[in-house]
Amino acid sequence: MILTLTANPSSDQTITLAGTLQRGTVLRASSTTAQAGGKGVNISRAAVAAGIPTVAVLPADVDSPFVAELRAAGIDTRPQRPAGPVRTNLTITEPDGTTTKINNPGPTVGASHLALLAGAVVDLAAEATWVVLAGSLPPGAPAGWYAELVGALRRTGARVAVDTSEAPLAALAAALPASAPDLMKPNGEELATITGGDPATLESDPAAAALAAGELIDQGVGAVLVTLGGAGAVLVTADGAWHAAAPPTTVVSTVGAGDSSLFGYLLATERGLPAADALALAVAYGSAAASLPGTTIPRPADVDPTAVTAVRLGAPARS
């Protein structure tokens, strides 16, 4: 079972423009969609589509339309008392796939709200193969909250994956090795913020990204999956480093592509696949998501792992 925590969920509204985004003008939309979302929620959606058991923990009123939508989609949702209404995030997508996001901060939480979320996750972790801590933290949450939660989860025996950014990511990195998860999934820019690398170089040079990710392996992280957009992704473990280029893809929307890549990797580990094949499935899932509109999460039929090949990069990560 894949257990996901979305500490700051969102109602994701996507506007697809008929033309190029131009500030200060009247624009016409070709379509508008709305979906209950958040990074952990997206991973649980992908799990349901792939027939993998999943439970989603998040703050929301139990009788809210947000929770009703997730349960109607087949997601076992365990809502905890929220500090306020679920936030709304806006995505604007242009015909060439260029995506602009406007994310609201969400309600300000207190210690009691965080304790409910942490308690639910730790209690359920014994039943999980993976616990995924995903997305931003709401206002009021300490930047180190994920790092503290990883420490608590390490005592449960479940494998822990973290996909976050900005202050929570920096706090997690600063707390290594005590907070080391089994998997981290930064993109190139996020990896640069915690390793001191140049973002443009890491995004475009898989070898440089692998070298930077190796620094996290040295500090106790089990595996680092670095998503690189059109350049594919890099996977680094104590056993080595691999790169998989993205297959030719007509990009429609990049929203949810990173979440889908993370799920592809988790799915591969559930199937017992080796590292290279896990990376290939991660890239295949991310590319499939980029080819779909709005926040659509790919189903297995949308994914072609045979179109992706992972190759080893140089020597194994430093020890």
| Helix%, strand%, coil% for the chain, nearest 5 | 35, 25, 40
Contacts of residue 75, defined as CB under 8 A and 6 or more positions apart, other chains included, come to 41, 44, 45, 48, 54, 56
Point out the catalytic residue in the list 259, 277, 302, 304.
259
Annotated active-site residue 239? The verdict is: no
Per DSSP, which regions of the chain are E strands?
A: 2-6, 10-17, 29-37, 54-59, 76-80, 87-93, 99-102, 130-134, 159-163, 183-184, 223-227, 233-237, 240-244, 310-312
Q: Taking the CA atoms of the chain, what radius of gyration do you get in angstroms?
A: 18
Alpha carbon distance 51, 55 (integer Å)? 13
Buried b / exposed e along 278-294 (16+ C-beta atoms within 10 A)? bbbbbbbbbbbbbbbeb
Give the residue numbers marked as catalytic: 259
